[in-house]
Each structure stands twice: as structure tokens, then as C-alpha cells.
Amino acid sequence: MSVPAVPAPADPGAAFAGRRITVAGLGVSGVPAARALHSFGALVTVVNGTSGERQQAEAAELEALGVTVRLGDGDTLPDGTELVVTAPGWKPSSPLFAAAAAAGAEVIGDVELAWRLRGARAGKPVAPWLAVTGTNGKTTTTRMLAAILTAAGLRTAAVGNIGVSLLDAVLGDEPYDVLAVELSSYQLHWAPGIRPHSAAVLNLAPDHLDWHGSMEAYAADKGRIFHGNTVACVYNAADPATERLVEEADVEEGCRAIGFTLDAPRMSELGVVDGLLVDRAFVADRRNKAQELAEVADVQPPAPHNVANALAAAALARAYGVPPGAVRDGLRAFRPDAHRIAEVAVLDGVTYVDDSKATNTHAAQASLTAYDHVVWIAGGLAKGAEFDELVRAAAGRLRGAVLMGADRALIREALARHAPQVPVVDLERTDTGAMSAAVAEARRLAEPGDTVLLAPACASMDMFSNYNQRGDMFADAVRAASPDPAAH
């Protein structure tokens, strides 16, 4: 197996002792950050813009430790602040950060803090990071990677934007060998110093542009994941923007660019040949030979974009030295999370699929591509997205479309421009029965052999608590329509 890429600094916790540090935001990242910094002797103040019941409970917990908490004011920088540690979702334009810049205080995120605290617990090994980002597929790929590493007998966890908190992983008692780290663009923006062993950018498409300000800024933040890599920068050969990020990255000498493709791989790529996932990157004679890793059928579900996720996970695992058999065993053991191209039921020859996690156009296009004939349930909050390219690409597959949510008109107009032959049902209702109505309309439009696909291409918060609730309500509506009691 490989070895840690970057040694941890000596006594990293001492760098925070006695410093006045402001933590911006409570919640899943702020509370662990405040606790950790306080434990290393920092003088910690937490600021939070809201003051609800949950925030008050979290504040009371921290105040019992001796941490100062200010609720209801997230804009004012506490006097004497030397460092700000922010929750990832806080926008760079926040007044707090302008005040920090004026005061000469550095601003970092909890991911950067975790990186700086590696090795702070004496006697605990420092686990290298195998990092994953991209507009879509991050969680699935990271969990696939963790499954492969586990199959290789390594102590690992899926951490970062999912699963275990990075701070908990770095400072806890569990002695990990290597970490599978999912990183969002927000987290990467606030993490200038991380240096993963190897990293992958799965794809790039417009998303969160209201936060980043432009596609260029969004891509630049994603590209930070490659900086300082020592073994491999993994990119999508079908997405030239990801390869450009590799070309622009400042990596350690000897670090290699490794592509993944759904076609036959070129040298230094992983790809697909005759239903097999194969490696032409981490073999001795990569000019002339390829190593079989797994079958496409080992990937569940074997939709094209999910096979691409598996290849990226395999590339990172192989960069760490994992043997081929572990790639196969890990992929066979892996099961995707809910609401990711999950088959719910087959009714009257029509397959119903829940991909509520497809919250942007790029994810929805990948999902639509997996099926030949689709009745598409879509709509919600567009987040500034445009739908012409998505509809143009999917037009030949669509049997019909059922639209719902606040920005459904944008999709309806794109369908009128690029797929006028497709029948469209426009649901105005936004009550809790709307999803049942959508499923009923989709069932009316579908023919045997079709797929009714919930792939909204939009966020869910206009009508639902989150994409999980949206997917659950879709599945409930499908099962309610089934005459088979076993489907309930």
C-alpha cells in the first residue's frame, strides 16, 4: 500500500493555543470546530446570524465548556479576532469576512482546520486523504471509494461533506489508514492549504453560481482539490474542463494525470472494454496491457454516469495501491444511497425510478440518458439554471413530461422550443398531494416499457423539506398506485 503523502506538522494543536478565534456558524461544522479549538487552548467566540431553538441549545452546550456564543448577529467581528473558521455555506461576500480582511485576520473553513490539526492527537497515525469533488456524483463516488478501500482491508471512512465529520475523523480515537473525503465547492473555497494524496474532479457544470459569482470562480474552487497532490490527479476524459483543472494545478513532482472514460482507455486511463472496467494507468506495461478490475454488472445500478463514478473511485483506490480484486469486491458490496436512480416499482410494464437527488440540470441529463423512453417528472427551484441544453439532449427520449414547482415554467418553455411534440402536464398545485397527482399524470402518459423518472433538475425547497422528502413522497405515491400489496 501507499504511504501518507504529506507529513503532519509537529504538535499542530499548539498553533491555536491562546489565539482569539471566531467560529462563524453553529451546526454540523461550527460546533465541532469550536469544541476542537477550545480543547487546544484557543479563546473561541462563535457568531451565528439566527437564534432559534436549536441554536440556543447548541450555544448552551458550548457555553458550558467556556466558549463564548453570540446569537442573532453574524456580521460583527469580535474584537481582537486573529483567525476566523467558517461554516462552508457562508458566502465570501458576508460582512464578517470583509471585517476580518480589514483586521488582518485569516479566514478558513472547517476542512482546512481539520487538515491543520492532523497529527494533533499523539500516538494516532496520520491518514492521507483521497479526495473527490465535482458537480454531481461526489457522494456516490466517495462511498464507492470507501467500500473499495474497506475491501482491501484498510481502516477507512467516507468523510467531509458526508458521513463522519472530518474533524472527528482527524481528532477521534479511530486509527484510520486512509480517508475517502468528499469536498464541496464551498468547502474547497475555504481550504487553501489542503494537499491530498490523490484527488478526482468528476465533472463540471454550472451550479451554485449565486454563491461563487461566476462559472470561472466555481471551477477555480473545484480545482483547488488538485493542488499539492502527490500521486494522481483524476479527471473525466469526457469533460475537458476537468482536464484543464489538472493542467492548471500546482502538484508535487511525479504526480500523474489519470483519466477515466466510458470508452476503451488510452494509456494512463481507466475505461470500459467488452463489459469490463479496466486499468491502463496503474500497470507496469500500460502502453501495451490493461488490468481487468471488475465487470460493468458489478456496478449497481449500471447506468452510464454511475459506471463513470465507479471508474473514478477505482482510479483513486489504485493510486493508493489497492489490488484489482478489492476494486471488484468493493463495487459488488456497495449500495447507493436513497433517491439516486433508485427503482421503486414496476407497474403494468412501466418502471418508476426515484432520482430526486438530481437537483441540477447536469445530474438530470445523466439520469435521463440512462433510459430509452421516459415520462419525466421535473421542476422546483431552478437556482438560476437554464434548461435548453438539457431538453435538447433529452428530446428524443421523452414520452411526456409532468412539471411541478416554482420554476416549472422555465422547463415548459424549453420543452416548447426544443421538444414541441412531447405532451406536457403543468401542475399548478403545491400542496402535499401534488406528488401523487404528478405520479397519476405520469402513469397516464406512460406506455409499457417506459420509465417514469423523477429527475427534477431543480432544488426541492419550494415544496418539500429537502430532496429526501421529495423522493419519499414520489415512492409513496407509486406504491399507493400499485395493486400489489407486496409493493406497499
pLDDT (tens digit per residue) in 29-42: 899 999 999 999 99
Residue pair 130/198 in contact by the 8 Å Cβ criterion: yes
Q: What is the mean pLDDT of residues 180-190?
A: 94
**At 21, phi and psi to the nearest 5?**
-125, 130
Band (pLDDT 50/70/90 cuts) for residue 361 is very high
Q: What is the DSSP letter of 164?
A: B
Q: Is the peptide bond before 301 cis (omega within 30 degrees of 0)?
A: yes
pLDDT of residue 487: 46
The CATH number of 118-333, from 3.40.1190.10, 1.20.1050.10, 2.40.30.10, 3.40.50.2000, is: 3.40.1190.10
Closest CA to 335 of 294, 301, 297, 371: 301
What is the CATH class of 342-481?
A: alpha beta
Confidence band, pLDDT 50/70/90 cuts, at residue 485: very low
The pLDDT tens digits for 258-279 are 999 999 999 999 999 999 999 9
List the 68-71 sheet strands across, edge first. 68-71, 43-48, 20-24, 83-86, 106-109
User: How many CB atoms are closer than 10 A to CB 143?
Assistant: 22
Residue 210 pLDDT exceeds 80? no
Parallel/antiparallel/unpaired status of strands 256-260 and 232-236: parallel
Looking at the predicted structure, is the pLDDT value of residue 141 above 70? yes
Q: Residue 323 CA to chain centroid, in angstroms?
A: 26
Supply the DSSP string of 414-471, one letter for each residue: HHHHH-TTS-EEE----STTHHHHHHHHHHHH--TT-EEEE--SSBSTTTSSSHHHHH
Q: What percentage of the chain exceeds 70 in pLDDT?
A: 95
* Range 227-236 average pLDDT: 97
Run of H or E residues at 107: strand 106-109
Res. 283 pLDDT band, cuts 50 70 90: very high
The predicted pLDDT at position 486 comes to 46
Is 127's pLDDT higher than 90?
yes
Reply yes or no on whether the pLDDT at 4 is more than 60.
no
Nearest to 212 by CA among 93, 114, 85: 93
How far apart (Å, rounded) are the C-alpha atoms in residues 11 and 236? Answer: 38
* Alpha-carbon distances, residue 23 vs 47, 117, 186 (angstroms): 6, 16, 16
Spell out the domain ranges in the chain: 16-110, 118-333, 342-481
- Which neighbouring-strand residues pair with 23? 46, 85
Q: Which residues lie closer than 8 Å to 254 by C-beta, 6 or more apart?
A: 230, 231
% of residues, the chain, pLDDT over 90: 78
**Residue type at 177?**
D
Strand 129-133 relative to strand 106-109, pairing: unpaired
pLDDT in tens, 82-106: 999 999 888 899 999 999 999 999 9
Question: Which range is least confidently modeled, 114-118, 122-126, 266-270, 422-426?
Answer: 122-126
Give mean pLDDT, residues 467-473. 94
Range name among 198-207, 372-381, 402-411, 421-430 with the lowest pLDDT average: 198-207
Give 376's pLDDT tier (boundaries 50, 70, 90). Answer: very high
As a whole number, mean pLDDT of residues 15-37 equals 94
pLDDT given at position 340: 83
List, edge to edge, every strand of the sheet that includes 374-378.
342-347, 350-354, 451-454, 374-378, 398-403, 424-426
Q: In whole angstroms, how large is the CA radius of gyration of the chain?
A: 24
DSSP for 21-35 reads EEEE--HHHHHHHHH
Q: What angle do CA 304, 221, 81 make, to 5 degrees?
A: 140
Residue pair 189/92 in contact (Cβ under 8 Å)? The answer is yes
Strand ranges, E, within 187-255: 198-201, 232-236
φ, ψ at 242 (rounded to 5°): -70, -35
The chain-wide mean pLDDT, for the chain, equals: 92
Region 169-195: what's the mean pLDDT?
A: 93
pLDDT surpasses 70 at 388: yes
Look at residue 207 and tell me whether its pLDDT is greater than 70.
no
What confidence score (pLDDT) does residue 3 get?
Answer: 53
- Looking at domain 16-110, its CATH architecture is 3-Layer(aba) Sandwich (3.40)
Give the phi and the psi of residue 159 in degrees, each rounded to 5. -135, 175
- pLDDT computed for residue 431 by the predictor: 84
Which residue did the predictor score with more confidence, 81 or 11?
A: 81
Looking at residue 119, its amino acid is: G
For the cut 70, the answer to whether the pLDDT of residue 208 exceeds it is no
Q: Is the pLDDT of residue 337 over 80?
A: no
C-alpha cell at 251: 502538484
Binning pLDDT at 50, 70 and 90, where does residue 484 land?
A: low
